[in-house]
Structure 1
C-alpha cells in the first residue's frame, strides 16, 4: 500500500464523518445532547481532567496493556507472525473500561446523578458499573434478556457493583433493543442522567468522545510494536460490532500508508444466510439510533434482526467513522463465521493459554486465515479486546466440553 490518504475532519463541526454521523434526536433531547457536547469539549481540554483520567488508566485500569508475540500460535498456523494487544488484561477484562471511566468522570463533572447505559455481552455494563462505583454515581444498565441468560457472569458482576440491571424483553431481546430501552430511560430525565453509550455509535458527540477515550490503545501499540520489532506492523486488525475497540487501535495507524488496516465483522451462520451481523459487508447507508451509518436494513429502511455468537457484535449498525473509512478505502472490512470464531477461541486458548472473548476471537480467526497467505517476515497485530471468562459456560455447552 503506497497511497497517501487525505482525510476529511473526523468529525466536522456538525459531528459528521464524511456523510455519516450527525445528531438526529427527538426535540426533547436536543438541548441535553448539546449540553453533553459543550461539556465534553470543555473537559477534554482541561489539564486537570486529562491528568485524572491518565492517572486512573495507569493505577486503576493497569495501563499500558502489553503486546504479546503469540509464537506458538504463529508457528502452528505458519506464515506471518501474530501479535496481540492485550486489552483483556485491563481491569474488568476488556477495552470498555477506557471510555467508561471517561464517561463516568464526565457525568460527575456535569453534576449528573445517574448514568444510564446499554450492554450486549455485558463488558460495557461491567465497565460502566465499575466506573460509576469508582466516582460515586448511580448506574442503570439495560440488557437484552437473551444476553442476560447467555452472559450470566457479567450480570452478576454488575449487580455486585451496585448497578441496577434492566432486562429488555421486547423485540429481539438483544443489543439493538437494549439501546432502544436505554434511550427511552434517558429521555425520561435527561436533566439528571447521562446516557453513556458503549461504542463509537449514537448521535454526536458520542462517536467522537468514545473514540478519543479509546485511542490510547493504538497510541500505546504503535510505540510498543516499534520498540519490539523496530518497525510498524504490516497489518493491524480488530473485531467490529459498533467498533470502539477497532477505532481505538486504528486511529494511531491511519496516517501510515504501509500499514494495512482490517476490521472483522461477524458473518454468523454465513453471509449467504440472514443470520449474521456483517453490516459493513452487506449493509447500505441508512440511519439508526440518531446517526447515519451503514445499516443492515429492510426495503423500508428499518434495521433487520441480526445474529452473532458474540453478543457484543450483535448490532445492525456501525460507527460512522468506520463507514467513512470504508468508503474512502482506508480500512478493509472482512468477516468471520460463528464456527471460525469458536475454532479461534479454542486454538488460542490451547496454544497460548489465553482465553479470548468471543468478540475478539473473530479478529483472531481472520488473523489466522490471513497469516497463512503472508510470509514469515510479515506481522499482524490483533487487538485482543476482551477476555473470555464471560463466555466459558456458553462455549462449554455449545461444544459439549
Structure 2
C-alpha cells in the first residue's frame, strides 16, 4: 500500500517498536482504513505536493527563518539557532499539518472537519484552513483551556468555527480529544484533523510527515548559513509531540545529531501536578495508540497538569515513546517555574516572546551544558500572544520586573 519511504522507524502496522498501532472501536475501522489508503495514495502525488508546497510558501510564509540568537548564544556560551515557527501564519507550527490534512480531506470528498485543541493553536490553524477551503469546522476545547486561551477562542469563532467547550474530566486537552473522537464515531462521514502525533495509525505518521517541513528547512538553512546541514542538537517541547516530530524527522537516522525533548513537569514530577508522561507514565493505550500514559495501577488515566495548555496531556505520541525508551532522544522534564524563567530570558535578550509550550524547550539551556562549538537548534513552535494573560498573572508573583 505504501508509496513512499518514511524516514521514521515505523512498520506496516504503524508501530514504532512496541508503540503505536490502531486500537479503535469497530465503527471507526473503515474510516481509519480509508484515511490510511488515502494518505499513502496522495502523499507522493505530484499535484497534491505542488498544492501543499504552494500554500506553504504563499499562504503560510515558509520557509520560516532559522535565526542565530547572538545574545542568547553569548549568554550560554554556545551557538543557538531558533527555528521560528512562531512567524508562520496563525503563529505556530500547527498550520503545517492543518493544511496537509485539509487537502487530504478534500480529495476524500469530506466537507465537515472535526478538531481538538489545547492551547488553541491547532484549533485556530484548522479553522483558518477550513475558512480558506470552504469547509465546515467544529473544534472541541476543554473548558479550562477556553478560559485561559480566550484570544484563540475568539479567533476560531471569527474564522467561522463552532467551538464546543468540554466540561468533562479536567476540562483540558485529553477531554477535548475524547469528545472529538465521540463526534467522529457519531459522524463517520466527517474528517478528523488530529493536531499532534497521537491517535491510531496513520495519524502519528501522517502528522509527522506534514510537520517534517521543519527539519527539512533546518537542514537546508544550516547548509546555507554555516556550510553543514546537521546540527549537534535539536531541542523541542513535547506534549503529544507534533512540533518535536517535525523538528526531529530528518535527523532521526543521524545518530550524531542529539535529540532533546522537553516535557512539562508542571509543579514537579513527583508533585501530583505534572504532565511529564515519559518520566511519570507507563505503557498503556490512549486515544487509539499504545504508548506511554499517565495512569493508575488499574489503568485509569491520571489527570495531567501544566501551566501550558498545549502540553497538558497524559500521553505522548508513540514515536516519542519509542525515541525515549530506545535512548535515541534525551527527555528533560521542565517545571512551570523553569519555563517562565526561560521565556523571560528569551524575551529580554532577543525580543522574542515565545509560547509557553516553546518556553519549555528553551528551558533546556539552563538544564544542560553545551560546548562552545556546538550547534544547538531550538524549535520555537509558537508565539506568546495567546499566553500573555498567563505570563502576566504568573510573573507578578515572582521576582520579575514587568
Asked whether 1:74 is paired with 2:93, we answer: no
Q: Which residue of 2 aligns with 1:235?
A: 233
> Deviation string for 1:197-230 (max 9, x for gaps)?
0100000110011010000100100121132222
SS in 1 for 2:163: strand
Asked whether 1:392 is paired with 2:391, we answer: no
Q: Is the 8 A contact 1:367 1:382 kept in 2?
A: no
Q: Is the 8 A contact 1:8 1:17 kept in 2?
A: no
Count of matched residue positions in the alignment of Structure 1 and Structure 2: 391
5 Å matches for 1:2-401? 10-76=9-75, 78-191=76-189, 193-231=190-228, 232-370=230-368, 373-400=369-396, 401=402
SS in 2 for 1:335: strand
Q: Which residue of 1 aligns with 2:399?
A: none
SS in 1 for 2:9: coil
Q: How many Å apart are 1:8 and its aligned residue?
A: 10
> Deviation string for 1:311-352 (max 9, x for gaps)?
000001111111111222111111111001001111111111
Rounded to whole Å, the distance in 2 between the matches of 1:375 and 1:315 is 33
Q: How many Å apart are 1:45 and its aligned residue?
A: 2.2
Moved over 6 A (4+): none
TM-score by length of 1: 0.95
Q: How many Å apart are 1:74 and its aligned residue?
A: 2.1
Q: How many Å apart are 1:9 and its aligned residue?
A: 6.4
Q: Is the 8 A contact 2:273 2:305 kept in 1?
A: yes
For structure 2, the 5+ residue unaligned runs are 1-5, 397-401
Rounded to whole Å, the distance in 1 between the matches of 2:356 and 2:217 is 24
> Deviation string for 1:290-322 (max 9, x for gaps)?
110011110111221101111000001111111
Rounded to whole Å, the distance in 2 between the matches of 1:255 and 1:29 is 33
Rounded to whole Å, the distance in 1 between the matches of 2:366 and 2:57 is 31
Q: Is the 8 A contact 1:360 1:383 kept in 2?
A: yes
TM-score by length of 2: 0.95
Q: Is the 8 A contact 2:7 2:250 kept in 1?
A: no
